[in-house]
Structures are given as structure tokens and as C-alpha cells.
Amino acid sequence: MIDVGLQQLLQQGYSSLGIQAVLDAASVPKGSFYHHFADKEDFALQVVDAYVADVHAVLDICVHDAALAPLDRIRTFFRNVENSYEREGYLGCLMGGLGQELSGVSDTFRQKIEWCFSSIADRLQLCLDAARADGSIAPDSDTRELAELLVNCWEGAALRSRLKRNPAPLAVMLEFYLASLQPR
């Protein structure tokens, strides 16, 4: 049900998500749904948790890859993101879509999605800290601010990638961002 819910949330958003459509697509009886989830909101929040766990797993592999330079770890993660967007048909980022749809109407979703973005920034900051330590970026760089900026840029590029149905906005954003970090 989580996988089906993810696809439906990416394709049509929360407001158009129908529990019966999820049940039909997953071939699951209605009682099973309510055994696992309190309601539609609980279901969608658990879909977000599963999505973020997958993002974290990929990001953690990249962040901790000592064989790569710190900025190349970031580059590798975003190349993985580009590839996943392509495989999924450029549906974009679940958190970005839900954040745009629900942040003004649901504090629960606003807080959950903000936590998701912050947790990604936490991981990216580890690479930026390592890049600062090895001299790849300026020694006075505010790596937290840079990590938050990267998440913000990524979300805008993800939206543009969805609109254009190609990865160019993601690639251009990342290369511009990384080039701007070079010490002067």
C-alpha cells in the first residue's frame, strides 16, 4: 500500500488521493488499510516516512563514501536523484509537492516536511564540513547555510525538472552550486 500510495501522491497529490483507489491498486481489502493506518492523513504521513527513509539511505551511502572527495559525494547523490526522477517519469520530489499543497493548511504536514528537508540538510552539511576541512571550499564557509541553500535549490530544480520532463534543471543547478563553492 505504501508503494502504491507513493505513486499516487506523486502523480496527483494529497487532495486527490483516494483510499479506495489505493486499495484497488494494491489488491488489499479495506479492513487491512484500517488495521495499519488510522486514516488518510496517517497513511500519507507513513508514505512520507518511507520515502524519506529511502532518500536517507541513498544519501547516507553517498555521504559516507570515503573513496570520493566530499563535493563528489554530493554530486553522486544528486546524480542518483536525477536517475530516480527519470525512472519515475519526472514526477519530482514528494516532499516538495506535498509541501506546496499542504503547508498552508496542515501544520502536521508542514512540520513533517520541514523535518524531512532539515534532515537532508544535516547529511549534506557533513560533506560540506569535510569539504571545508580539506580546503575544497572557503574556510569561513557557513556549511549549515550552504546545506540549507542546496536543499532549497534542489526543490526549485526538482519542480522545473517536473515541468520540463527532463533532468537539465537539476544538473545545471548542481553544477552552478558546486562551482560557486570554489574558494576565491
The pLDDT score that the predictor gives to residue 22 is 94
The pLDDT score that the predictor gives to residue 167 is 87
Under 8 Å between Cβ of 74 and 150: yes
Q: Which helix (H) or strand (E) holds 33?
A: helix 30-36
The pLDDT score that the predictor gives to residue 93 is 86
Per-residue pLDDT of the chain (184 residues; tens, 9 = 90+): 999 999 999 999 999 999 999 999 999 998 889 999 999 999 999 999 999 999 999 999 999 999 999 999 999 999 999 888 888 887 878 888 899 899 889 999 999 999 999 999 999 999 999 999 999 999 999 999 999 999 999 999 999 988 998 889 999 999 999 999 988 7
Residue 4: name the closest of 173, 84, 17, 64 by CA.
Answer: 17
Angle, CA 32 vertex, CA 94 and CA 49 arms, to 5°? 25
Q: Which cell is 107 given?
A: 501544520
Structural domains of the chain in order of their starting residue, each with its CATH number: 45-180 (1.10.357.10)
Q: Which cell is 156 given?
A: 526549485
pTM, two decimal places? 0.91
The pLDDT score that the predictor gives to residue 183 is 83
